[in-house]
Amino acid sequence: MAKQTHRIGILGSGNIFGRYVTGLARYPELQIVRVGDIDAARAKQAAADHAIPAWGDDAELYADESVDIIVNLTPPVHHARTISTALAAGKHVYVEKPLATTVEEGRTVLAAAAGSGRILGSAPDTFLGSASQTARKALDAGRIGTPIGASAFIGHSKAETWHPDPRFLFQPGGGPVMDMGPYYFAILVNLLGPVRSVAASSRIGAPRRTVTAPQRAVDSIEVTVPTHAGAVLTFASGVIGTTQMSFDVWDTDLPFMEIYGTEGTLSLPSPNNFDGDVRLRRHGESEWTVLEPAVELFGAVGTREQARRGLGVRDLADAIEGGPHRANAPFAFHVLEALCAVDESSQQGRVVELGSTCDRPQPRFSG
């Protein structure tokens, strides 16, 4: 049976835009009908580059009655206001990560979604990929026994070497915690359930960064957000997570993420990708075993398929059609609250207890 068609308008046509266009092409029923940007000339160019039939400024996108879903690819500081405007215009919304940049903003968009009769979904969606789903299946099947601890290490994304305008990554709303942290925290919550408290310490590494990206908008950036953080997450289950999030660690041999249980260890690939080997080593075994993927792969690991986006938009479309909503707003809000607690704990020198909780999203694998 043919799938229901959803008409998509993309808000924001910057760096990640092309990866959404190519990723969404996997789902022919998700049709991109318009692109809107406060910089309308940029939207015009994006529409021409990708054969998108309509383009214009942001107001024209909100007003387009043929658009059902707005995919919001604006920088994080714009998320709260643009989500609320899109919901008020009667659109379902899928927003890039993080959901918003503060807990207060996050509460505002949750309330806006609840009162709108529309559905709000949020990146990251890599926790829906085969690696995270495979780890979840192994964990739920008890293959490492009872989970005790977890570790997660975020090294430098080196954005100033490739992003034409990486300013937002070194200002409040950016930094390694808000920019890369969502991928890691979403996977940890998907695996281990909600976080109860956060104890952290963070600092700015270099106060000024040199931008070397080709076609850069600026040559250097003043850094106004912590770029190196260490945080201990205590989960409601009692699991203790040890994390390091840094734009000052240029190279490292640390693993991306490991989960430690009474009977063994799970090792995960980069949470920034959808696929990759998940390895299991049970106590007494001398070798790691690579687990069978629990869901289909997007493509070979290391290829551009891994960087393309769109699975979270398909997940929102499932929810619109009455199915489960996995990358949902309460889940994204809980992840946001845990991320914001890193800075709060560091600034206030105390353990921060989280006010929110969430369910673990329904797995994508069956059985």
CA distances from 9 to 31, 57, 248, 309, 314 (A): 9, 11, 36, 15, 14
How many residues bind ligand NAD, per CB under 6 A?
22
Kindly tell me which of 76 and 363 has the beta carbon lying closer to ligand NAD.
Answer: 76
Kindly tell me which of 91 and 137 has the beta carbon lying closer to ligand NAD.
Answer: 91
Q: Minimum Å distance from CB 333 to ligand NAD? A: 16
Q: Which of 14, 149, 172, 255 binds ligand NAD (CB under 6 A)?
A: 14
Kindly tell me which of 97 and 137 has the beta carbon lying closer to ligand NAD.
Answer: 97
- Minimal CA–CA distance to 50: which of 6, 9, 18, 11? 18
Q: Find the part of the chain contacting ligand NAD (CB under 6 A) among 31-39, 99-107, 282-290, 339-347.
A: 31-39
DSSP string, 91-148: -EEEEPSSS-SSHHHHHHHHHHHHTTTS-EEES--GGGSHHHHHHHHHHHTTTT-SEE
Q: Which of 22, 31, 33, 42 binds ligand NAD (CB under 6 A)?
A: 42
Q: Which of 37, 105, 125, 275 binds ligand NAD (CB under 6 A)?
A: 37
Strand order across the 147-154 sheet:
289-290, 279-282, 264-268, 257-261, 147-154, 240-246, 228-235, 195-203, 352-353
Q: Which of 10, 47, 73, 189 binds ligand NAD (CB under 6 A)?
A: 73
| Residue 82 found at the interface with ligand NAD (CB under 6 A) | yes
* Host H or E run for residue 245: strand 240-246
| Residue 156 found at the interface with ligand NAD (CB under 6 A) | no
Q: Which residues contact 365 (CB under 8 A, 6 or more apart)?
A: 133, 136, 137, 294, 295
| Residue 301 found at the interface with ligand NAD (CB under 6 A) | no
Kindly tell me which of 100 and 192 has the beta carbon lying closer to ligand NAD.
Answer: 100
- Minimal CA–CA distance to 86: which of 75, 72, 74? 72
Is 50:21 a contact under the CB 8 Å cutoff?
A: yes
Q: Which of 78, 137, 228, 334 binds ligand NAD (CB under 6 A)?
A: 78
| Residue 96 found at the interface with ligand NAD (CB under 6 A) | yes
Site residues (vs ligand NAD, CB under 6 A): 11-16, 37-39, 42, 58, 73-76, 78, 82, 96-97, 163, 165, 179
